[in-house]
Each structure stands twice: as C-alpha cells, then as structure tokens.
Chains A and B, each alone.
Chain A
C-alpha cells in the first residue's frame, strides 16, 4: 500500500516555466488537497477536491491550477513559475469529510524557482 505518492521530490524551474506536480493515492480517498509550506507561514491550502470532478480554491490559489479527473490523481499545475512559488508542496488525502479522519500526506516536492 503506497499511500500518497508525490513526484518529483525535487525540482528547479526558471521563472516563467510551467510544470505539473503529480499526486496519486491508492486508498480510494475522496478528499485530496494541496498545501505549500514556507518558513514562518505554516501550511497553507492551495486547492482541494472533495471528489472526482469537484475542485475548489483554498487560501493561496493564484498561479496554480488543479483538476480531478479520477479519484486517484490530483495534479497541481504551475502556470508560469515565479520565485515566490519557491516552497515545499504537500499533497494529502482523506477518506471523507465527516468525523475524525485525519489526512495522509505525501512526502513533499521541494520546488525552487530561479
């Protein structure tokens, strides 16, 4: 059971480039989210999804797009990378919204934009 898998683990981009951060889970979880973590800022929600075909914006969505065509996959697209998007990105999933189900996190993608 792989859990939540994120790829790549590390990435360096030039300003203006685009790329997709991949996230896949094999636990049949309905809920999936993307967070970024910056020093002194904690974890901030970028986009989230409550099921296939349904996505919504979080706290810091600008510059990012998501889609959820399957239950398993929730890719995050950076449209035109900026140095302000240098961060650690975490994908997480949860069985459902209700109750005391916590989220399981992937191991993260460390992105540097130069």
Chain B
C-alpha cells in the first residue's frame, strides 16, 4: 500500500463547477500536510497547508481528519486556470525519528481539467 494515495482522475469539469479531491495517508508519523499544484512540465508549487481545523484560501478549502488519516481539497467556482495536477503531500513529524523528520511523501497526483 502506498503511503499517500490519491484518486488519479482525471477530473473534467466545466467552468464554475465545484470539485473535490481526496487523499489518504498511512504513516502515523505524518505531522504536516499540504496540497501542491503542478502545471504541465513545471515544478510543484505549494497551494496551501492543511490544518485539522480546516482552512480556506479564496475558492480553495482544505480539510484534515487525523483520526481517519484523510485529507481533502475543495475547489469552488472552478476557473480554466485551475487546470493542473494536484498533489497531496505529507511531512514526517519528530516521531519519525532521525533524519526522516521533515521528509515529504507525495501522492501520485490528481489531474484536473476545467473546460469552458
């Protein structure tokens, strides 16, 4: 079983749609959680961190459920420019031990295409 699993999609949605991505992680040493966005042939860029209380950044809402080891990203009012691959990322905490502390593990990514 992969440490971080995402539905690879692809998701094809019209402009204005709401779309949700899910992610599960298996490593109990995971401490910090992120969503990254990667455009075609570009580097991943941090979209937002994810907190247990849930957090929102404009049209984007992220949720974390530590008990279920589940992370989600909701995009409202989708724009053409939201088309990208969305990567779920977890970071090891101090209980991972040694140099594993701070190490990132990536999901395979979910492809989103927003069409007119």
Assess whether A96 is in contact with B108, with CB atoms less than 8 Å apart.
no
Assess whether B102 is in contact with A97, with CB atoms less than 8 Å apart.
yes
B66 at interface by CB-CB < 8 Å: no
Assess whether B87 is in contact with A97, with CB atoms less than 8 Å apart.
no
In Å, the complex CA distance between A100 and B103 comes to 12
Counting residue pairs across A and B whose Cβ atoms lie within 8 Å, the total is: 65
How many chain A residues sit at the interface, stated as a range, is 20 to 34
Chain B 43-64 interface residues, beta-carbon cutoff 8 Å to A: 43-46, 49, 51
B104 at interface by CB-CB < 8 Å: yes
Q: Quick one: given A100-B49, A102-B49, are A45 and B104 in contact (CB under 8 Å)?
A: yes
Assess whether A102 is in contact with B46, with CB atoms less than 8 Å apart.
yes
Assess whether B102 is in contact with A94, with CB atoms less than 8 Å apart.
yes
Query: A70 to nearest B CB, angstroms?
Result: 18
Contact residue among B43, B51, B105, B107 (Cβ-Cβ distance under 8 Å from A107): B43
B94 at interface by CB-CB < 8 Å: yes
A41 at interface by CB-CB < 8 Å: yes
A103: which B residues are within 8 A, CB to CB?
Answer: 46, 104
Contact residue among B49, B99, B106 (Cβ-Cβ distance under 8 Å from A48): B99
B106: which A residues are within 8 A, CB to CB?
Answer: 35, 42-44
B46: which A residues are within 8 A, CB to CB?
Answer: 102-104
A-B pairs with lowest CB-CB distance, top 5 = A97-B102, A42-B108, A105-B43, A102-B46, A56-B99
The residues of B with any CB-CB pair to A shorter than 8 Å are 31-32, 34, 36, 42-46, 49, 51, 87, 89, 91-94, 98-109
Given A42-B108, A45-B103, A97-B94, 7 other A-B residues pairs in contact with their CB atoms under 8 A: A42-B107, A48-B99, A94-B102, A97-B101, A98-B93, A102-B46, A105-B45
